[in-house]
A = this chain, B = another copy of it.
Amino acid sequence: MRDLSKDRALLAINSATVKALTLPQLVESCVRRGIGGIAPWRDIVQAVGIEKAGKLIRDAGLTVSCYCRGGLFTAADEPGRRAAIDDSRRAVDEAATIGAKCLVVLGGGLPNGSKDLAGAHAQVRDGIAALLPHARAARMPLAIEPLHPMTAADRCCVNTLAHANDLCDVMGDGVGVALDVYHVWWDPDLPRQIERAGKRILTYHVCDWLMKTRDTVFDRGMPGDGVIDLRAIRAMVEATGYSGLIDVEIFSTENWWKRDPEEVLRICLERHQTVV
């Protein structure tokens, strides 16, 4: 298991953790602190312009651990599903332009008015399959992210690493998984599925599950503030040979998003070295 106690290079800051920062501000702050990477969402990249964002990141010497995000394939009608695939192709191109290691892909929830979970699963599978040739041509790996089951209806109906692994089995080359501890920590099948995922783990995300969680999306904790055994999960992930960066991704309307981003970055780095 890698020793992070003095590490800065393996930390990546997900831009959603410090939403107030622009891409140039995020890049500057990370460089100043010796942080090795970033995981930008599309909004802050598009705000700068894709080519310019890529140059900015390359010139700074930062790794783009992943690009967030494509997918959300489920929709009530064919034009809706086609639009999601088209948009995901653009996300692939953006990811390639900025030199991201992978594009995070979310399944999508139940289409409006639908109760057909198996149908939604099929739409996700078909959406990834439709996106894959373009991603392969761009040499941009797709990282399927299982989201917590509490998001199955409104965000993502792929809710276990087992399901993401099953999708990888079907898809073959060019597809892997994005593993975020927040979504999978509760799963008794996690050790087996991490081992099964093996080299498919393309990006690894941390935050924490707060004992009293007040929102199904926007109440994540800073690593160390919750109940997830982060060391144990990282040990399993690194036992597969994972050698990539570790992204801190925290959605937190009532706490971390209210704080000074510089304070948040300082604490992210401290926790990276002490509890992750």
Q: Which residues of A line the B interface, CB within 8 A?
A: 110, 114-117, 121, 148-150, 152-154, 157, 159-160, 162-163, 185-189, 209, 211-216, 226-229, 232
- Contact residues in B for A153 (Cβ distance below 8 Å): 186, 209, 211, 213, 226-227
- Contact residues in B for A110 (Cβ distance below 8 Å): 211, 227
* Residue contacts A-B, CB under 8 angstroms, 15 given: A110-B227, A115-B228, A115-B229, A116-B229, A148-B150, A152-B186, A153-B186, A153-B209, A153-B226, A154-B212, A157-B186, A159-B188, A160-B187, A160-B188, A213-B216
Checking B188, B216, B227 against A121 with a beta-carbon cut-off of 8 angstroms, the contacting residue is B188
Q: When A121-B188, A216-B213 are in contact, do A115 and B148 touch as well, CB less than 8 Å? A: no
Nearest B residue to A110, CB-CB: B227
Q: When A150-B148, A211-B153 are in contact, do A115 and B227 touch as well, CB less than 8 Å? A: yes
How would you classify the secondary structure of chain A's contact residues: helix, strand, loop or mixed? Answer: loop
Closest 6 CB pairs of A and B: A152-B186, A115-B229, A150-B150, A149-B186, A149-B149, A153-B227
A227 to B216, CA, bound (A): 16
**Contact across chains for A216 and B150 when beta carbons are under 8 A apart:** yes
| Nearest Cβ on chain B to A256's Cβ, whole angstroms | 19
- Contact residues in B for A232 (Cβ distance below 8 Å): 115
| Nearest Cβ on chain B to A263's Cβ, whole angstroms | 25
- Contact residues in B for A150 (Cβ distance below 8 Å): 148-150, 213, 216
- Contact residues in B for A116 (Cβ distance below 8 Å): 229
Nearest B residue to A116, CB-CB: B229
| Nearest Cβ on chain B to A252's Cβ, whole angstroms | 16
| Nearest Cβ on chain B to A118's Cβ, whole angstroms | 8
A211 to B185, CA, bound (A): 23
A150 to B188, CA, bound (A): 14
A228 to B216, CA, bound (A): 18
Checking B115, B148, B211, B214 against A149 with a beta-carbon cut-off of 8 angstroms, the contacting residue is B148
Nearest B residue to A231, CB-CB: B115
Most buried by B among A117, A157, A185: A117
Checking B121, B154, B163, B227 against A211 with a beta-carbon cut-off of 8 angstroms, the contacting residue is B154
- Contact residues in B for A160 (Cβ distance below 8 Å): 187-188
Most buried by B among A121, A189, A213: A213
